[in-house]
Amino acid sequence: MKKLLRVNTETNEINAEVLTDNYNMLSGRALISKVLTDEVKPTCDPLGKYNKLIIAPGFLAGTTVTCVNRISVGGKSPLTGGIKESNAGGNTAFKLGKLNIKAIILENVPENNKTNILYISKDKMDLVKCHEIKNIGIYKSAEILKGKYGEHVGLMLIGPVGEKMYVNSGISNTDNEGNPSRYSARGGLGAVMGSKGIKAIVIDDKGTSTPDILDKKSFINIKKNITNTVINNEAVANSYTKYGTSNLVDLINEMGALPTHNFSKGRFDLADSVNGKKLYDLIEERQGEGKHSHACMPGCLIRCSNIFADNDGNTIVSPLEYETIGLLGPNCGIGNLDTIGKLNYKCNDLGLDTIETGGAIGVLMEADVIGFGDEEGALNLLEEVKKDSYLGKIIASGAGNTAKVMGVRRVPVVKNQTMASYDPRAIKGLGVTYASSPMGADHTAGQTLRADVEHTKPDGQVEASKNAQISNALFDSIGTCFFVGGAIEGKIELLAGLIAAMYGEDITVNTLKDIAKKTLLREKEFNKKAGLTDAHDRLAEFFYEEENPDVSTVFDVKEEEIKRVHDF
Amino acid sequence: MKKLLRVNTETNEINAEVLTDNYNMLSGRALISKVLTDEVKPTCDPLGKYNKLIIAPGFLAGTTVTCVNRISVGGKSPLTGGIKESNAGGNTAFKLGKLNIKAIILENVPENNKTNILYISKDKMDLVKCHEIKNIGIYKSAEILKGKYGEHVGLMLIGPVGEKMYVNSGISNTDNEGNPSRYSARGGLGAVMGSKGIKAIVIDDKGTSTPDILDKKSFINIKKNITNTVINNEAVANSYTKYGTSNLVDLINEMGALPTHNFSKGRFDLADSVNGKKLYDLIEERQGEGKHSHACMPGCLIRCSNIFADNDGNTIVSPLEYETIGLLGPNCGIGNLDTIGKLNYKCNDLGLDTIETGGAIGVLMEADVIGFGDEEGALNLLEEVKKDSYLGKIIASGAGNTAKVMGVRRVPVVKNQTMASYDPRAIKGLGVTYASSPMGADHTAGQTLRADVEHTKPDGQVEASKNAQISNALFDSIGTCFFVGGAIEGKIELLAGLIAAMYGEDITVNTLKDIAKKTLLREKEFNKKAGLTDAHDRLAEFFYEEENPDVSTVFDVKEEEIKRVHDF
C-alpha cells in the first residue's frame, strides 16, 4: 500500500497517511500540482509556514525499468513566486518507491533555525538533529551521512546556500554510486527545504524489495519490449550514450542559439573547446575515474551521464551536462571544460543551481565586475559564495536579483528565473515555453528543439511549445526521463501499459495526456492566484529589442498568440 | 498658454506641445496617470526605452497661494513594478508654473550612459552634457549648477544611486532657499531619471511672472480667505508650525504604531529622545542655522519644515521629518536625533529614499550585520553606499531586495516597497492603504490616522482607507500639500474655486473628487495590466502572523473586504 508522509517541521511530528482518492492515481509533477492547489494558499510567503515542499517519485519508482526513477520536488518557488516542480535522476526515487512512499510533504517551519535530518526506513521515520553538517558542503555532508547511516542510503541534500534560504539553491540527490550529484536545481526549492530546517533526507531502503506489481507478467513483457527498443536504438547509442547532453553544443551553436556573453550572441568562438567531442576525447584520453557514459539512476540504459576527470584521472565533477556547459561556459565567455567542470563542482557543493549561477555570473560580467572569459575570476566568484560575502550573497540570490543590485538591465530571465542554454530568438518555440510555462524559463517544461518548425521564424512556435509542454508535463508526471520518449521511439503506450500493469488501473496514453493537461492547467491557476498573470508571460525586454546577431532576429512571436498556448 | 515638453533622451530633441483636450484639465498625479495609461505599455521594463518619466506641477503652480506648489513626478516604478507618483515641496513646481509648463515628459533612453542636464528657461530648452557632476552627491551638484546657472534657478536632481539605476532612489527638488532637500523619494523614480541619462533639470524662471489667471478678482478673494483661515488655525500653529511632522512621534508611539526594531514592536523606549519636543528644544537651544519652522515652498503659511543644526549651529540636515525619524530612528533602534539627522543628510546626498533605506538597514540589523541601535554602524552602512561596495549596492536596491539577498523573511514591504512609519497592525486603515493602494506601501496614498475608527480593530478600516485614498489622490492631483486640508478646515471648495478662477472652467469639489476617483481607477488598471493583481494587495506575511506586542494584535482586515476598497 502506497503511503504519503507528512512531516510537521514545527512540531517534529511525522504521519504516514493512506492515500486518498484525490491523490491516489497521480504521481510526480501532477501530484505536486494537486497538493499545492488543494493545500497551499497561492499568495503565501514561499519561505514561510504555509508553503509546503513536496517530494514525489513517479508511478513506476522502485522498479528497474529504464528511465522511470526520476524524483520530482515541488512547492511555491521563492525565485519565481509561482508553482515549481524540479526533477532529477539519481537513486532517491528508486528507494522511495521500494519503501512504498508516494510523496513526502514537508510542512510548517521550525521556530528557530534548525539543522535536522529526516530519516526514513522500512520501520522508522525520524527527525534527527545533525549539527555536524550545518553549513557544510554537499559532498562532505553526504560522506558524513553515509558514514552514519551506511553507504547504501539515498540522500536528498541542500547546501549552505539552501540552508541560508538564498533563492539560487537546489536539492541534490545521490546517484547510483551514492555521489550527491543529481540536482533538482531550479526554482529555489533548496531554500524552501532550508526554510523547513531540513538539511537532508536519508532514505534507507534496507530490507525492502521491488514494490507491488499487480500484473507482473504484463509488466515484465512490456519491460522487455522497452529494453529491446532502447538498446537497439542507434541514435541513442551514437549520441546520448557516447556524448551525453554535451552533444548539443555543436548543434545549438550551429543554430546560433548558444547563449554567449550574457545572451548577446548565439555562436561561441570557442565552441569546439566545450563540445561533446571535446568532452568525450578528454575523458577517454585522461582515463582514471573518468567515464564518458554513466547511468544516473537504477536501470537506465541510455546512460547519458558522465564522470569528468582531470589530467591525473581524478574526478572534477559528475556529470557535466549541456545546460551547465552553456551557462557557465559560453554565456560567461569561458571556453575551457576543466574550468567549467570546476565551476560545476563548486556550484554542486554549495547547493547552487548551475543555470541560475551562470546567469548571475554573466550579469556580473556585463557589469564589468570581471571580464567575459575570466576563468579565475569566475572561480573566485564562487569562493565569494562559499565565504558568504556580500558579493557571494548577491550571486546566491539569482541572476534577476543580481541585475537589480548591480543596476543591470540585460538579464536573461522570465519570472525572475534564468533561461536555459537556448537563445529564445534562435529557437523561438523555446522562447514561447520560457515566456508561458508556469515553471518560468525552464527548457525542460517544453523543449521544442526537435519540433518540425523553422526555429528562427515565429510561425508555428506556439503550437510547438504547446505540444512540448504537454509532452514534458506527461513525462514529469510519471517520473520518467524526458529522453525515454525518443529512446522508445515515441511509444508512450508502453509506459501507460507499465503503469496499468503495476496498479491494475485502466491507464492509456490518453489518460496520461489528460493528466498532463490538467497538471498544466492547475499550475496556471495556482500562478494566477499567486499573482502571475499574462503580464509575466514575457521575456526580458532586450530579447524583443536587440537582435541576436547570429540569426539576425529578435523574439517576435506575438503576445496574443502566446496567450493561447494553454488553450486545450 | 500652458505647454507640455517632450524630451527624447535618445535623439536629444525637445518639443513643446500645446496641450490636447485629453490632458488639458488634469494636473499632478491625475495627469501622470493619464499619460502613463495613454502612452506607456504597462508591461514595459521600467528602466527601458518604453517607460516615461513625467514631471507635473499642479493646477495652481506658480501662484503664491499657500501649499499649492507641490511637484508630482511619476512613471512605472522599478521598485514596485506598478505605476508610481511621488510628490514633494520645494520651488520647482512654482518655477515650472511661472514658465507655463504643465508637464515635462522624459522619453526613450540614450544609447550610452550619459550625464545630461535639461535646461529650461523662458526662451530656451536644451540638453547639455555635464560630466563634472557625474556621480557627485546632490548637495555638491546643486552648488555646481547654481554656480553655472545662477542662484535663482530651481533644480531637480538625482544622486549617484539614481545615476546607477539602483531602485532605492528618489529625485530631489530645491527648496525656497535653493537647498536640494525636498524629495520625490518613493518608488525608485530616481533610477528612471537615471535611465534617461538626465542627472538634473535646471528650471530658470528669470523674466517670468505669475501665470495667467482668468478671473483675478475671485482668485485674490479666495486666496485671502484661505490665508486668513490658515493663519487663524490654532492647531496648525501649535502643532505643525511649532513641531513640524515630528510632532507625530509621541502620538504614534502612544498608539503602539511606531515601527521599532524592524517592525517587531510599536513603542520605542527612547521615543522621548526623538520626538517633536526634543527636536524643537535642540533647535532652539543650539540656535545658529537651525530653525524649528521653515517654509518648504513659496507662499507656504504652515511652515512645517525645519532646519536641524548641530551643537555649533551648523546645519545637519533640512528638513528632518517624522517618516525619516521613524524609519532611520526607532525602526533601527536609534534614539539620537543627531545621528538620524546625519543619516538623513547622507541619504539625501546619495539620492536614497530615507524610508526605503531605513527599511533596508532594519533588515540588515535583523540579519545581524550590525545590531539594532548601532549608530556608527548605520552611518557606516551609508558610507558603503557611497563607496558603491556590494553591501552598499544591496542597500541601494531597497529593503525587499536586501531581504532576498540576505535570506531574511521579516521585511516590512508591500509590492516590494517599504512601509512608512506606521505599523499596520496598530493603524489598520493604513494597513489597508499599504495593501491596496496602487502606489504600494505609501502613507501619503491614504492616511487614515485622523479617521474616526478604532485603529487597532478591523472594523471600518476599508471605508476609512477608501476615503483617505480619494482625498489623497485629490490633493496629489491638484498639486497641493496634504496638510492644507486640515489647515483650511476641510473647505476644499476654496481650492476648487481657485482653479475655477484661474482657468475659467466650472470646477467644483465634485469635479475634483471625480478626478481623484478616476485617477485611482486608472492607476489600478495600469497595475493590473502590469501584472499587479489582488494577489499583490497584501502585506508581508509576518504582519498576519506575528502580533505587535504593544497592541496585541495582528493585521486582520479581511482580504475580501480589501478587494472592495476601490469600488466607487
pLDDT at position B179 is 96
pTM: 0.97
- B531 to chain A, any CB pair closer than 8 A? The answer is yes
CA-CA distance, B235 to B229, in Å (whole number)?
11
Grid cell at residue A399: 541572476
CA-CA distance, A493 to B514, in Å (whole number)?
63
- B369 to chain A, any CB pair closer than 8 A? The answer is no
The closest of B91, B98, B96, B18 to B56, measured between CA atoms, is B96
**Rounded to whole angstroms, what are the CA distances from B404 to A29, B202, B260, B413, B541?**
27, 37, 21, 12, 14
Within 10 A of A445 (CB to CB), how many other CB atoms are there? 26
pLDDT at position A154 is 98
The closest of B485, B475, B478, B495 to B222, measured between CA atoms, is B495
Within 10 A of A132 (CB to CB), how many other CB atoms are there? 12
Cβ–Cβ below 8 Å for B535 and A48? no
Radius of gyration of chain B (CA): 22
The closest of B232, B212, B189, B223 to B77, measured between CA atoms, is B189
Partner residue opposite B166 with nearest CB, options A401, A407, A538: A407
- A549 to chain B, any CB pair closer than 8 A? The answer is no
Ranges of residues in chain B with a pLDDT under 70 are none
Q: Are B400 and B233 in contact (CB under 8 A)?
A: no
- Cα dihedral across residues A21, A27, A28, A29: positive or negative: negative
- Which strand (E) or helix (H) includes residue B95? helix B92-98
Q: In terms of residues, how long is chain A?
A: 568
Say what angle helices B138-149 and B337-350 make with each other, to 10 degrees. 60
Q: What is the mean pLDDT of each run of 10 residues along chain A (568 residues)?
A: 94 94 94 98 97 98 96 98 97 97 97 90 95 97 98 98 98 96 97 97 96 96 95 86 93 98 98 97 96 91 94 96 98 98 98 98 98 98 98 98 97 98 98 97 95 98 98 96 88 96 96 98 98 96 98 97 96
- Which strand (E) or helix (H) includes residue A213? none
The closest of A259, A262, A273 to A369, measured between CA atoms, is A262
Cβ–Cβ below 8 Å for A45 and B391? no
Q: Are B392 and B385 in contact (CB under 8 A)?
A: yes
Domains and CATH numbers, chain B: 3-203 (3.60.9.10), 237-409 (1.10.569.10), 423-487+506-568 (1.10.599.10)
User: Tens digits of per-residue pLDDT, A64-89?
Assistant: 999 999 999 999 999 999 999 999 99
Nearest CA in chain A to B388: A406
**3 state DSSP class of B450:** coil
ipTM of the complex: 0.96
Find chain A residues with C-beta within 8 A of B415's C-beta.
Answer: none
Nearest CA in chain B to A401: B401
CA-CA distance, A402 to A417, in Å (whole number)?
11
HEC readout, A130-152: CHHHCCCCHHHHHHHHHHHHCCC
Cβ–Cβ below 8 Å for B529 and A535? yes
Partner residue opposite B405 with nearest CB, options A50, A393, A545: A393
pLDDT at position A487 is 87
Cβ–Cβ below 8 Å for A535 and B541? no
Looking up cell 501499459 gives A497
Find chain A residues with C-beta within 8 A of B48's C-beta.
Answer: 409, 541, 545
pLDDT at position B236 is 84
- A166 to chain B, any CB pair closer than 8 A? The answer is yes
Grid cell at residue A2: 502506497
Bridge partners of B172, per DSSP, are B157, B183
CA-CA distance, B106 to B7, in Å (whole number)?
5
Within 10 A of A48 (CB to CB), how many other CB atoms are there? 19
Find chain A residues with C-beta within 8 A of B391's C-beta.
Answer: 390
**Rounded to whole angstroms, what are the CA distances from B306 to B92, B251, B319, B336?**
19, 19, 5, 17
Q: Measure in Å the smallest separation between the Cα of A257 and chain B Cα atoms.
A: 24
Q: Are A64 and A298 in contact (CB under 8 A)?
A: yes
Nearest CA in chain B to A532: B531
CB pairs under 8 A between A and B: 92
**3 state DSSP class of A560:** helix
Find chain B residues with C-beta within 8 A of A404's C-beta.
Answer: 167, 397, 401
pLDDT at position B20 is 86
pLDDT at position A114 is 83
Q: Return the residue in A405, A527, A563 with the most chain B beta carbons within 10 A, the one to mutate for interface testing.
A: A405
- B539 to chain A, any CB pair closer than 8 A? The answer is no
Q: Are B138 and B157 in contact (CB under 8 A)?
A: yes
Nearest CA in chain B to A534: B531
- A531 to chain B, any CB pair closer than 8 A? The answer is yes
Q: Return the residue in B76, B364, B404 with the most chain A beta carbons within 10 A, the one to mutate for interface testing.
A: B404
CB-based contacts of B20, cutoff 8 Å, min separation 6 = none
Partner residue opposite A407 with nearest CB, options B165, B390, B536: B165
**Chain A 103-132, CB below 8 Å of chain B: which residues?**
none
The closest of A394, A159, A533, A411 to B389, measured between CA atoms, is A394
Within 10 A of B13 (CB to CB), how many other CB atoms are there? 12
pLDDT at position B239 is 81
**Chain B 209-268, CB below 8 Å of chain A: which residues?**
none
pLDDT at position A240 is 85
- A42 to chain B, any CB pair closer than 8 A? The answer is yes
Q: Measure in Å the smallest separation between the Cα of B378 and chain A Cα atoms.
A: 17
Cβ–Cβ below 8 Å for A394 and B394? yes
CA-CA distance, B38 to B31, in Å (whole number)?
10
Cβ–Cβ below 8 Å for B405 and A389? no
CA-CA distance, B353 to B350, in Å (whole number)?
9
CA-CA distance, B75 to B86, in Å (whole number)?
9
Cβ–Cβ below 8 Å for A541 and B405? no
- A367 to chain B, any CB pair closer than 8 A? The answer is no
- A391 to chain B, any CB pair closer than 8 A? The answer is yes
Cβ–Cβ below 8 Å for B538 and A43? yes
Find chain A residues with C-beta within 8 A of B536's C-beta.
Answer: 531
Find chain A residues with C-beta within 8 A of B529's C-beta.
Answer: 535
User: Tens digits of per-residue pLDDT, A192-250?
Assistant: 999 999 999 999 999 999 999 999 999 999 999 999 999 999 888 888 888 899 999 99
Q: Return the residue in A163, A390, A404 with the most chain B beta carbons within 10 A, the one to mutate for interface testing.
A: A404
